[in-house]
Copies of this chain bind each other. A is one copy, B any other.
Amino acid sequence: MITFEEAEIRARIIKALSHPVRLMIVELLKDGELPFSKINEVFESDKSTVSKHLLVLKEAGIVSSRKSGLDMIYRLEMPCVTDFFNCITAVIENNIKKQQICLCR
């Protein structure tokens, strides 16, 4: 069995991924690194909000960043991202299927 401490470490990573904006950032970075400005322009929120979401992802080790001139370049550090999203999608598909069964009763 997994210990509570191990579960806490896992939970920290998962929690970093549990926000729609952060999930969209991960999707954006799936095809390669991007500067902050490109990530920021996708969202309507204040740039400080986007910056803080990126910090959460960085502290979890899900993205990394490097300075390049005035830009800050962000890169995804999660090669298994596709498996991860496929698993979540499978849960969602199953939920839809189950709801359909309920509606047919």
A residues at B contact (CB < 8 Å) = 1-2, 4, 7-11, 13-15, 17-24, 27-28, 42, 60-62, 77-81, 83-92, 94-95, 98
B20, A18: Cβ atoms closer than 8 Å: no
A94, B23: Cβ atoms closer than 8 Å: no
B4, A11: Cβ atoms closer than 8 Å: no
Indicate whether A24 sits within 8 Å of B7 (C-beta atoms), given known contacts A18-B15, A62-B91, A94-B61. Answer: yes
Residues in B whose Cβ lies below 8 Å from that of A98: 61
A24, B4: Cβ atoms closer than 8 Å: yes
Closest-CB distance, A34 to chain B (whole angstroms) = 12
B24, A2: Cβ atoms closer than 8 Å: yes
* 18 A–B contacts from the bound complex (CB under 8 Å): A2-B27, A4-B21, A7-B20, A7-B27, A9-B92, A10-B89, A11-B18, A11-B20, A11-B22, A13-B88, A13-B92, A14-B17, A61-B91, A62-B91, A79-B90, A80-B87, A80-B91, A83-B87
